A and B are shown apart, each in its own frame.
Chain A
Amino acid sequence: MLVLTRRSNQSVMIGQDIVVTVLEIRGDQVRLGIRAPREVSVHREEVFAELGRANRLAAEVRSDDEALLPAPPPPRG
């Protein structure tokens, strides 16, 4: 892992078009600004862990749970 020291308002570049800027440092929190092309998706690492947890919970569904489903509202129009 590359380790760099940056101050507030300093940036690092990843390749030629991704810029990560340290916006603010407060206590143990860092606010980062990320500028990247649209085709690059940027997510907090935890999001994937959260999705995994949500999927495992959802997978506990039983076939008779369908009875609990609400009727879909009529389409607006």
Chain B
Amino acid sequence: MLVATERFGDLEVPDDRLLSFPQGLPGFPDARRFALVDGRDSGVFYWLQSVDDAALAFLCAVPWAFFPDYALDLADDEEAALGLSSADQAMVLSILTVHREEQRITANLLGPVVVNQVTRTGRQVVLGGADDLLQVPLPA
């Protein structure tokens, strides 16, 4: 599928990289379809590019690349909503925020994006945890 984007021009995205977010994302309830686009360092950084809004994209990282001890315990209702039956069905991404003036990048470890790789359905879940997990600096 050809996806028009503001940041990357027109991207040809294979079907198996098209993800559905039935609830959208908090702050973007209408953003229901995203393309998973490889970012720098294959397998570490990804872009979630909205299929319907060329201007909307998130830079993400696989959290364990930077936070090997990160534990993710999904509530049963989240697992059910995603239709997950095993952990290796899930792809987990942390949305990154670039604080340009401070030259600082933080990861949202409170609300990871969890994708069922079989159904290619995703959802931003809320983990029980302290608010300070919302902006955790990426170790340089």
Contact = CB atoms under 8 A, between A and B. Distances in A.
A61 B80 contact: no
A18 B4 CA distance: 47
A54 B28 contact: no
B25 interface: yes
A47 B8 CA distance: 32
A63 B7 contact: yes
B66 A73 contact: yes
A56 B25 CA distance: 10
Contacts, number: 113
Interface residues of B, number: 43
A48 B40 contact: no
Q: Which residue, B25, B26, B76, has most C-beta atoms of chain A within 10 A?
A: B26
Contact of B95 (A42, A54, A72): A54
A3 interface: no
Interface of B: 7-8, 25-28, 39-41, 44-45, 56-59, 61, 65-66, 68, 75-78, 80, 95-98, 100, 103, 105, 108, 110-111, 124, 126, 128, 131, 134-135, 138-140
Interface of A: 38-43, 47-63, 65-66, 68-73, 75-76
